[in-house]
Each structure stands twice: as structure tokens, then as C-alpha cells.
Amino acid sequence: MNLPPVNDAAEVTINSTNTGYVVCFKISGGVPPYTVTNGATVWVVDSVFCSNELPCGSGYYFEYDGANGCGPVIVTEPLVECACTTTGGELDPTPQEICGTGPAVVAYDATNQVLDGDDVVDFMIHNGDNVPIATNTIPSFSYTGLLTYGTTYYISARIGNNDGNGSVDPTDPCLVITPGPQWCSMRSRQRA
């Protein structure tokens, strides 16, 4: 009497950028070698199967069988979500009033910052809606034609995937924007 093969619990390993994962499981019993398929690709293994990388937010479905054909056995999970690990540092919350062209410089403490494998950090000045008016690689901004004197602005750190140009990709699902307590009110220099 031939028995179908069995597998250990599937192990999911998420990549360092939290964008994909690999599924591995050990097959035993039945008669090796084992044929594994996802419907499109076929692998032949002696005991341990590891998938190609799959995108986070998708599921997986594999069937496998031994050489005696007593299967198939199905290993499936409808959805694998990759938890975001990115966290930001802290900006000095002390308000600043900037006279003239600035710059408004904010201290950034990265002690508690956690970046995943493709994260970068940049800083933005905004009017409180987290939509950047300007960005910079350091937390320092001077008055430009994009700003209006007498207006309150906020400086926040953004942490997220590199957009390919060294800046933060605002569409990153793991994007972190620090709270915007740091503000600066830029006003024109008064003449006496």
C-alpha cells in the first residue's frame, strides 16, 4: 500500500524590503523525488521545496506528489501580508520664527528610527497637510518663492522606499511621516 507524501508546516520568509516573500516546506513520506507545481511552473525536489519570490499581498498555492502518484497534496495560503517595519526618528518640537530667508533648521534624532532594506529618509516643509512644498536631505529649509511670508509651515521627516532618485516614494505603503510639531513662521525682514 502506497501512502501520499506529507509536509511540515510551510515557512514564509519575508525579504528585507518587505515587498516579497519565499515559501519553504519539507516533504517526506511517499516515494521521492517529489514534483511540486503552482499551475505554471514545475519543480522536482528530493525533500525541501522553496518557491521563487512572491509579492507581498498575494497568496500562494502549490500541489505536490511523490513518484508513486498517491497525491496530490495541496499547500495554500490565500493572503500573505508583509508587516511594515519602518519607523521614524523624532524632530525637536521647539517652534521657530524665522525672519528673512532663514534657514529653519530642525534637530532630528534618529535613535528610534528603523529602516527596511530599501528605505531612505528625507525632510519636507508643508503647510500641515503632509503634502510637500519642498524636500531636502537634511532638516533645513530657507525661504524660496514657493513660500509665503507670515505663513506657518511644518517640517517633517519622511521615511520610505527610495524612489530611484534618492528621495522617498510617497506611494510606499509603509511610508512614515513624523508628526509635524516642528513649525516655522517665515516672515519678511522688517526695516526700521
Q: What is the pLDDT of residues 121-171, one digit of tens each?
A: 999 999 889 999 999 999 998 888 888 877 888 899 999 999 999 999 999
Q: What is the pLDDT of residue 192?
A: 44
Residues in the chain: 192
Whether residues 123 and 163 share a domain: the answer is yes
pTM as predicted: 0.72
Whether residues 67 and 98 share a domain: the answer is no
**Counted domains in the chain:** 2
CA distance 41 to 57: 20
pLDDT in tens, 35-92: 999 999 999 999 999 999 999 989 999 999 999 999 899 999 999 998 888 999 999 8
CA distance 125 to 39: 50
pLDDT value at 191 more than 70:
no
Residue that is last in its domain, among 26, 53, 77: 77
Query: What nine digits make up the cell of 192?
Result: 526700521
Range of the domain at 31: 6-77
Whether residues 112 and 162 share a domain: the answer is yes
**How confident is the model over 14-20, as a mean pLDDT?**
89
Residue 85 forms part of a structural domain: no
Query: What nine digits make up the cell of 98?
Result: 524665522
Whether residues 58 and 27 share a domain: the answer is yes
